[in-house]
Amino acid sequence: MRTPYRGRFAPSPTGPLHAGSLVAALASWLDARAHQGVWLVRIEDVDGPRCVPGADRLILDQLTACGLVSDEPVQWQSMRGDAYEAALQRLVAQGDAYPCACSRQDIELALLAAGTPRERHQAAIYPGTCRPERGGLRGRPARAWRFRAPLRARVDWADRRLGPQTQDVARAVGDFIIKRADGLWAYQLAVVVDDAAQGITHVVRGEDLADNTARQILLQRALGLTTPAYLHTPLVLGPNGEKLSKQNGAQALALGDPVVALNAAARVLDLPASSGSVAEALAHWTARWGARWATRRSA
Ligand code: GLU
């Protein structure tokens, strides 16, 4: 028997909804409706310092103005610390996570010493200095907690739109942070714990997040959780050709004119512009994606 479809839109309240974030909101809503599923909104406010006070309420109002309303009470990640702590403790007990004392500079120096300096504009791949088998913290205070990326664990997964994807997490990102040095929970852990706790079967989100999926699948496996199906939507590009964001001038969606905004989002999703009726967009989405119901598990 199929698990009933449960999808979500999970904005970070770092500013109001803009043309780019509405695309992910609309796509996730259409996909849920096309599968007669449940659609949830989750406010991802784990990174408190980046959150803008009141942006969560504004986003919810903007969504409501567009006719996109969560089917169940909205959840805030800032209330979910106990669940993230329990997941961290489980990972530590299993040997899948360990404390790390390294500062950014320590990591740069270790990489330099190993002859593998970080390439410009590339994130550093953690050299494993604090891995328990390499001596652990060696008396230094723990700053952050890292997930141990298994060696030779190439993660293969299928994106419903982008097709087959693969990433060797150990080589591409290394042991990644799940609890940050400033005590905040990392997105990777919070999103995996919450998707599972909310029974999410289908994740529909922007393509800029596709690169995180392999890490999230590793966390799901380590925590004994089911991997949802993934669909990453096209991005809206700003004038500089980069993903539209607050930083490159994305305008907040005007609450007064949802039809124009929804039509623009529908065009990005390659749905024919219409009178702005979501019902029409839904018919097109269902024709394209509705039949492909499957909880794809990673290989
Ligand atoms: N909170 C993330 C963001 O706004 C999205 C997380 C997700 O959909 O997995 O970029």
Q: Is 182 exposed, middle or buried (0-12, 13-18, 19+ CB in 10 A)?
A: exposed
Identify the CA nearest to 191 among candidates 220, 169, 165.
Answer: 220
> What gap in Å lies between CA 69 and CA 22, rounded to an integer?
13
Nearest-5° angle of CA 96, CA 100, CA 103? 145
Listed in sequence order, the residues at least 6 apart from 59 whose beta carbon sits closer than 8 Å to its beta carbon are 11, 13, 16, 17, 43
The maximal CA–CA distance of the chain, rounded, in angstroms, is 65
Using one digit for the tens of pLDDT, what is the confidence trace for 47-89? Answer: 999 999 999 999 999 999 999 999 999 999 999 999 999 999 9
pLDDT value of residue 295: 42
pLDDT value at residue 282: 85
How many CA atoms lie within 13 Å of 19's alpha carbon, on the beta-carbon side? 22
Question: What pLDDT shows up at residue 283?
Answer: 85
Substitution site in 209, 212, 216 for ligand 1 pocket (most atoms within 8 Å of beta carbon): 209
Separation of CA 10 and ligand 1 centre (Å)? 5
Give the residue, by CA position, lying nearest to ligand 1 atom 7. Answer: 10
pLDDT at 69: 97
Low-confidence stretches of the chain (pLDDT beneath 50): 293-299
pTM of the complete model beyond 0.85:
yes
- 10 Å Cβ neighbour count for 13? 24
Q: Quote the DSSP letter at residue 290.
A: I
Is-contact 189 179, C-beta < 8 A?
yes
pLDDT at 152: 79
Distance CA 264, CA 258 (A): 10
CA atoms within a 13 Å half-sphere pointing along the CA-CB vector of 162 = 23
- State residue 2's pLDDT score: 66
21 Cα nearest atom in ligand 1: 4
Give the pLDDT of residue 297: 38
Contact 232, 210 (CB under 8 A): yes
Domains, the chain, ranges and CATH? 6-80+198-290 (3.40.50.620), 82-179 (3.90.800.10)
Residue 275 has a pLDDT of: 63
- 10 CB near ligand 1 (under 6 Å): yes
The CB of 13 under 6 Å from ligand 1? The reply is no
121: left (phi over 0), alpha (psi -120 to 50) or beta: left
> What was the pLDDT predicted at 294?
43
C-alpha Rg value of the chain to the nearest Å: 20
